Structure 1
């Protein structure tokens, strides 16, 4: 089990109310795509899940435990995150994949195993990260996250900077990981076609509010909200509210 619950979650910074009253349950073992206009609060939402920031209102639970009651280092091992740009440490591919387990005192990690998972062969182990293509670097960042054996994987537009071929590789990889490792995956995307392809469920956020959340095929075929319809059709005016 790795169900995530949001209970009336809000977030304000010094100047703006970014998220408002988010309440939803994210069931375990599926890919949940988050869509919405730029500035809607999508990245803020997933940063709350592994406590890069904390909500200013409400609670977030994983397996019915408030995430603030979980040691933050343990929480971030359980909830991996991959960003839009692949942020890799200086050194080799193996150095990056070994990093998380070594912090736990595990020094005999099988780097090849994690390379296999992301579809790269053992020849990459000693490659310097500066020598990787964008798609290869993103796959290594996923391998590094997986080396901590997370229950949840958060993806903040992981393919937006990649070419179509690399994007397809990452999409296939993530869908395979869901089935193979039974991960709960939360994936932000601006690409509607990608959301349709990869998402089991779709979460639509606008102006910091949860507008609609449901099975992806049903969401795109029969959106319940007029705002959702406008967004799907590319006609949503900035600032328009539900």
Structure 2
């Protein structure tokens, strides 16, 4: 297995407040990794280091063997999709223009290539083409989230980062979106790193589950390993209280 993301002796602090004291982890190419933990455990901090939104005070984060700190941020992020909670679509752009935003930057004058990418991802996330000319305010919460996922994937990135992407939708829509993202992963084999505060979501979606508390790894393993062999009392309590 090839590590597409690697954290080596990573520390992150704000002034004298150490959020991540000493973090080491490898995520292999094609894995679906969910990150679960208490509020303030460092889940989002770890996620944002992958695409350079946050930088470690010490240590190194590697993507495809390259130190993120040495990479051109724009080039790096074009190869890393990013989907977060809620509606972060451009309100003045149609669905088509939202999804094609990054492909347009990459494909320049090749409009056909961009249009094909938009149609491909509309189909994959389960949206009808009739919505292409709609604006975000004309969509349901679930449709907006699907457009957000399509936009994050439209440039065919190797990595997709998701920060509690389904936290603001109702339970039924959430279940549907969970099925969709699992299916998308099965179809594309893209590497997904998915932050959630929902232990059931973490266990059902992840090939691997990373349990964090106070910026430290409590356990990293498969769903079955987490459920059947909790590493410590924190993980055991997390499972028992789900």
Report the TM-score range of the alignment, normalised by the length of the smaller protein. Answer: over 0.9
CA-CA distance at 1:2 after TM superposition: 6.2
Structure 2 partner of 1:162? 169
Alignment of 1:5-16 (within 5 A): 5-16=6-17
TM-score by length of 2: 0.92
Q: Secondary structure at the match of 1:138?
A: helix
Over 3 Å counting, the alpha-carbon distance change for 1:44 and 1:19 in structure 2 is same
Q: Is the 8 A contact 2:3 2:26 kept in 1?
A: no
Report the number of matched residues. Answer: 235
Q: Is the 8 A contact 1:2 1:151 kept in 2?
A: no
Structure 1 partner of 2:123? 116
Matched, 1:195 2:193: no
CA-CA distance at 1:142 after TM superposition: 0.6
After superposition, give the CA deviation of every residue in 1:73-113 in whole Å (9 maximum; x if it has no partner). Answer: 11111111101113001220011011101112143312222
Over 3 Å counting, the alpha-carbon distance change for 1:15 and 1:208 in structure 2 is same
Over 3 Å counting, the alpha-carbon distance change for 1:193 and 1:47 in structure 2 is same
Structure 1 partner of 2:186? 179
CA-CA distance at 1:191 after TM superposition: 1.1
Q: Is the 8 A contact 2:10 2:23 kept in 1?
A: yes
After superposition, give the CA deviation of every residue in 1:136-192 in whole Å (9 maximum; x if it has no partner). Answer: 101001100111111011111111111122112211111111111111111111111
Unmatched segments (≥5 aa) in structure 2: none
After superposition, give the CA deviation of every residue in 1:15-71 in whole Å (9 maximum; x if it has no partner). Answer: 521112110111111211100001111111101110111111111112222122322
- Displacement over 3 Å in runs of 4+: none
Structure 1 partner of 2:143? 136
Q: Is the 8 A contact 1:112 1:125 kept in 2?
A: no
Match of 1:228 among 227, 235, 239: 235
Distance, in Å, in 1 between the alignment partners of 2:7 and 2:69 is: 13
After superposition, give the CA deviation of every residue in 1:210-233 in whole Å (9 maximum; x if it has no partner). Answer: 121111211111112222212323
Structure 2 partner of 1:54? 55
Matched, 1:24 2:25: yes
TM-score by length of 1: 0.92
Distance, in Å, in 2 between the alignment partners of 1:10 and 1:79 is: 22
Report the aligned-residue RMSD.
Answer: 1.5
